[in-house]
Chains A and B, each alone.
Chain A
């Protein structure tokens, strides 16, 4: 916290440590059918749901784009396809290029009410051992910023049980988010090591 408070202001209220740092790197995931995946060397992680929400940037009164991004619609669609609700999610891997995006995502995906995301994190619920571990690999802010591959690869790692010391025991339903532009484009995935969720 001291490092954070000592980091310089970039655009107030954002300090340098509120912003992730782009890195060069590469990661790959193989997407294939369920039948084919069974023949692979490693156990697959299944995609149960996906959703998109593109809210646009309506520059008008009545649209609170800072707090209602496309995440809400994307999440709703992904939950629906997977046949789950927010309370069923056990791990979140968010695209958190700026610190507040994680807070806004918790609210948009239905884990907290608007305005309660900050206190939810401060209470330790998203930390290791918390009831909803978030960005278990450090996310883009503390891990590495390889755009959408950061949350997706960590979801695969957690789904396979490859997390080592950071492995979350209850890894049955993993939510992955991705966003772009000024948060007006949003995508979600529901992943699991289980072939069937129910």
Chain B
């Protein structure tokens, strides 16, 4: 059985790689949620390495604690990759007051979160 689109993405993250799906025919890089229901996506897509350069598209700050291992406040950010896809992630930043829509970010990997972004 083929792995799901999400599993593939997360598998690369676990290996410390940020990859995005690219249509084999058109060369277009598509969104990460685009074809999650497709069983045979492997025939249509290949996963290419992303540069890790990104822009902060939007963010919120959680003040209500939902998970024991996630003390509040923490941010949840929509990050736009240089290649086009937007992903939900976190900006690792000392002072959240410094978060600003449009700021340049860079992908980084850490043990706890896997993929995060830091100011470029």
Contact = CB atoms under 8 A, between A and B. Distances in A.
Whether chain B is bound by chain A comes out as yes
Interface of A: 8-14, 57-62, 66
A66 B61 CA distance: 17
Contacts of A59: 31-34, 85-87
Contacts of B4: none
Contacts of A11: 60-64, 76
A8 B84 CA distance: 35
Given A59-B31, A59-B32, A12 B61 contact: yes
B58 A66 contact: yes
Nearest to B82: A61
Contacts of A14: 60
Interface string B45-66: 0000000000000101111100
Interface string B87-99: 1000000000000
A61 to B, nearest CB: 5
Contacts of B76: 11
Contact of A60 (B31, B61, B62, B63): B31
Contacts, number: 41
Nearest to B84: A61
A10 B73 CA distance: 10
Contacts of B30: 60
Contact of B73 (A12, A57, A62): A12
Nearest to A57: B33
B80 interface: yes
Contacts of A60: 30-31, 34, 84-86
Interface in B21-57: 30-34
Contacts of B61: 9, 11-12
A61 B76 CA distance: 18
Interface residues of B, number: 18
Nearest to B61: A12
Contact of B63 (A12, A61, A66): A12
A13 B34 CA distance: 28
Contacts of B63: 8-12
B80 A61 contact: yes
A10 B64 contact: yes
B8 to A, nearest CB: 16
B118 to A, nearest CB: 20
A13 B86 contact: no
A57 B32 CA distance: 11
B80 A12 contact: no
Contacts of B86: 59-61
Nearest to A60: B31
Contacts of A13: 60
A61 B64 CA distance: 29
Contacts of B84: 60-62
Nearest to A13: B60
Nearest to B62: A11
Given A58-B31, A60-B31, 18 more contacts: A8-B63, A9-B61, A9-B64, A10-B63, A10-B64, A11-B64, A11-B76, A12-B63, A12-B73, A13-B60, A59-B31, A59-B34, A59-B87, A60-B30, A60-B84, A60-B85, A61-B84, A61-B86
